[in-house]
Every structure is written in structure tokens, then in C-alpha cells.
Amino acid sequence: MREERAPGLLAGDSLNLRLARRSLGLIALCLVLLPFADLAITTHDPWAELGRMLSGLLHPDLLATESLPHAIALTIGFALWGTLLGMLLGFPLALLFPRSRLLRGGCAFVRAIHELFWALLLLQVFGLSAVTAIAALTIPYAGIFAKVYAEILELTPRAPVDALPEGVGRLSRFVYAELPMVWSRLSSYTRYRFECAMRSSVLLGFVGLPTLGFHLESAFREGRYPEAGALLWLFYLMIASLHLWGHRRLLPWIALGSLFLLGPWPDIDGALLWRFVSVDLWPQPLLEGNWSGLWQWFSEIPDLLPAIGNTLLLGLMGTAGSLVVALLLWPLASRHFGNRPTRMAGKGVLILMRSTPELMLAFIFLLMLGPSMLPAWLALSLHNGALIAFLVARHADAIVPGSHALPASGRYAYELLPRLYGGLLALLFYRAETIIRETALLGMLGIATLGFHIDSSFAYMMFDQAFVLLLITAALNIGVDALARRYRPREIADTPGQHDRPAGEAPC
């Protein structure tokens, strides 16, 4: 009888081994490239700074901020109108989405540019007004809604349509036999998107729009940590209580009521707008048809290649970091590990980290550690890792373990992770698009990614340069998304809960 040789390290053809090789490859690539990243800590005493921030969180001062109710109302108003208009635009687009390649491309493009970059662009025309804020949310959300609604509509069960009598018109068929079948999924996605809009609306404060984020940023920047702590708690409270005040019947009234607070509306000068769109945004040599001049113009963009390189590197580091964080943290919130108090605490930490936008986390780390890629890396890894860990823990809770006698490490490695890993990796690759989007954005904090150059081009009124950089950012984002789609695990071992597929959770 011939004995079968024991397989070598990571040799074999099972699904999980292939996934393990793929993820180790990702981490190895990240480690090889790590020396190229600037990870210096430049502040004098980061721990003392952290201590001051934490003490601010523990002793929040709610009364320090002026016109706080107004800021809260604006934050909600922007988020609500941005989502609402995005939905109204996105829904009809979703119906055409499967039929038009041009439309799909256009939606991918508007999605690929972060809300804050849209705000920077619109700011030049509409100033610091509600139009800028709402349009900055509406434009990318229309693209997102078009795509996600189209995906949901595609999954409409066929049976009710097949059962209809012959000759039913297209519209009647849609409202009776198709729309009701997917209505709950559409509305739950829309609610989720509104939650994202709340976060984005807060972030709009970072470019100067008077939302909660504006006060948050200045309080942090000026070291008024008790005030910053109070604003941060307020932000968490707003997100956590969404299900209380975000009621279906209440929202229309909030939307109408907020209209009175959103003004003053800007006077829009048509000629100026036209000049901006038709002249200012385009390189002068291109408008003149001077091709060699265009090349010259291009080569004068400072540090273009390093910026692209840094963006990609930070995106890679963020993805690998998220993977590690997710692997380490998901047991914190799972019923298979620890006891009730540890799980409560674990869940709390994960929810806090995933509710804090990357930009805000990065900003806090930046104040602590000084400007380098390190704060951005930490922020990306912690936020996305916590988000994935939370979803993986939810999947894990649906698994009934076979034998109860295993120690925790055995349960983790033998019972649970083999069943969860495919799903975890799929989530990670879904997030990759978001991570690269955020990476570019984090440049606005002074980290040398594309966002830094976009921000400074706008600051120097070099709109043509800013616009080209935005286009490059969008192209990069679309490219990374295609790459992640290619390597995303398709055959997932046995993840429970197919219905809460990450599709809905993708770009927030």
C-alpha cells in the first residue's frame, strides 16, 4: 500500500487554501512595499496628546459650541435632501442601467469621486451654500442608487410576472408584480444610505460647510478637546438614534422643516457658471488645440506620479491592514467567545470604530502622530477592519458549532474561520473600492496622496489642474474596483445569510 505524503506548507487545492494563499500574497506585497511608505511619528509626545483627547471625551462640554442646534439641523437637512434627490435621480437611472453602457460608465464615474471632492468642486460655483452641500451628496448618490437599485431589481423573482394574464402593460406589470417584491430591499438600502449620508454630511464641515463637522474640526484643531468630545458624542448619538427619529412618517416633515434653515440660497450667475464649466475646468492648451503645450502642461503638475504611487500604496496598506484587524477583532463581538460583558464591550468598540468616518479617525490620529501615512493607515485599517469584523461576527453567530469541547483557539481556527473566511475576504474586496476612494480623500489632511494635490489646486484656483487630478482619481478608483472584482472570491464555502450579502454595504 502506497502511503500518501503529507502536503507541504499551504499546498493543496481546497477553496480555503487558495484564499489563504491569495490573502498572504496581499500581505506579503504590502510588507515588501512598506519601506516606501512614510510612517514617521513627528509629534513630540503622542501619548500625552491621546490622553488629553480621551480626557476630553470623558469630560465633554456641550455648551462650548455656538449655534449647535443650527449645525445639527443643517447636518440632518443636507443628509436628508441629498439622499432624497439622489434617490429621485437614481431610480429612473436604475431602470435604464442594464441597457446603457454609457450610463453605467457615467454612474461609475460620479460614484468614484468622493462627496467631499464634489463639494470642493461645487464650492467654486455655489459657494458655501446648501446647494453645494446637497448637490455634493446627490450627485454621487444618484450613481450609487442607480447601480444598487438596478442590482436589486435584477433579482426580482420571476414567478409573479409569469402568473400575470397576457397583455398586461409594462407599467402595470412593474407596479404590481415587480416593485412590491423588492420594495423592502430597496427601502432598507435607502435607509442604510441615509445613514451614510449623515456621516458624509458631518464630513462636509471639513471643507467649511457649517455642519457638525465644521465645529468638530475646529475644536480638535485648536485643542479644545472637551468641546470636541461633546461633539463626537453628539455625532454618535445622532447615528445611534436614527431608528428613533428617522421614522418613515416623520422624515417628510423633517425634510420640509429643514428647508427653512437651509438658506440663504446663492444667486447663481449663469454666465459665470458656464465659464467655469466650459473654460476654467479645462487646460488652456487643450482649449487652444495646442498638443505639445498640453504635454508641457501635464508635466508641470507637481509630484503627479509620487501622488498616484502613494495613493495606491496607502490603498494596499489599508486593505491589508483591514484584513488583519478584521481577523483579530471579529471574535470580540461573536457569541462563540467570551462572556456577556466582553461581548457588549467588543460590540461597542466595533460600532464606535465603524461609525466614525475614516477622515475623522485619520484627523484624530494626525493630531496625535503628526503628518505621515501612519495616521491614514491606522484610520483605514481600524474603520474598515471593524466594519468587516462586525458583519463577520453576525455571520458567525448564525453558525451552530459541532462540538462544544474545543478550546477557544480550536473553535476559531477549526470550527468557525474555515466557514467564514470566504465571506470575510469577499467583504474585504468589496471594501477595496471604498478604501481607495477614502485614500485619495485623506490627502485633504495633508497626506501626500492625490487628495492633497486636489485640495491645494483648488486652494490656488488652478481649477484645470484640480479637475484633471479628479479625473485621474476617478480612473484609479474604477481600475482598483475592477481589479478587486476580479480577485473577489466567488464560491463562498458556506456563509449563512446570503440575503445580507455585502453588496448593499459596499461604498459608504
- Interacting residue ranges for other proteins, rule: CB under 8 A: 157, 159-160, 162-173, 175-177, 180-181, 183-184
Our measurement of the distance from residue 71's CA atom to the centroid of its chain's CA atoms, rounded to an integer in Å, reads 23
Distances (CA, A) of 360 to 228, 335, 386: 11, 30, 15
Give min distance, CB of 152 to other proteins, in A. Answer: 14
Q: Which is nearer to other proteins, 12 or 180 (CB)?
A: 180
399: DSSP letter? P
Give min distance, CB of 179 to other proteins, in A. Answer: 9
Give min distance, CB of 410 to other proteins, in A. Answer: 42
The total number of residues written for the chain in this structure: 508
Residues with Cβ within 8 Å of 389's Cβ and at least 6 positions away in sequence, in order, are 325, 326, 328, 329, 330, 332, 333, 350
Q: Which is nearer to other proteins, 182 or 281 (CB)?
A: 182
Q: Which is nearer to other proteins, 66 or 166 (CB)?
A: 166
Q: Which is nearer to other proteins, 159 or 244 (CB)?
A: 159
300 burial via Cβ count (<10 Å: 0-12, 13-18, 19+)? exposed
73: Cα within 13 Å, side-chain hemisphere? 15
78 contacts 135 by C-beta, under 8 angstroms? no
Q: Cα–Cα distance between 374 and 41 in angstroms, integer?
A: 8
307 contacts 448 by C-beta, under 8 angstroms? yes
Q: Which is nearer to other proteins, 17 or 164 (CB)?
A: 164
C-alpha cell at 229: 468630545
C-alpha cell at 272: 459665470
Q: Which is nearer to other proteins, 24 or 175 (CB)?
A: 175
Give min distance, CB of 181 to other proteins, in A. Answer: 6
176: DSSP letter? I
Q: Which is nearer to other proteins, 184 or 409 (CB)?
A: 184
Give min distance, CB of 184 to other proteins, in A. Answer: 7
CA angle 427, 431, 432 (to 5 degrees): 120
Q: Which is nearer to other proteins, 162 or 300 (CB)?
A: 162
Give min distance, CB of 195 to other proteins, in A. Answer: 23
Q: Cα–Cα distance between 140 and 470 in angstroms, integer?
A: 14
Give min distance, CB of 100 to other proteins, in A. Answer: 24
Please report, to the nearest 10 degrees, the dihedral formed by the alpha carbons of residues 398, 403, 407, 413 taken in order.
-60
Give min distance, CB of 154 to other proteins, in A. Answer: 18
Give min distance, CB of 99 to other proteins, in A. Answer: 21
Q: Which is nearer to other proteins, 160 or 309 (CB)?
A: 160
Q: Cα–Cα distance between 371 and 316 in angstroms, integer?
A: 19
Identity of the residue numbered 352: L
Q: Cα–Cα distance between 125 and 237 in angstroms, integer?
A: 34
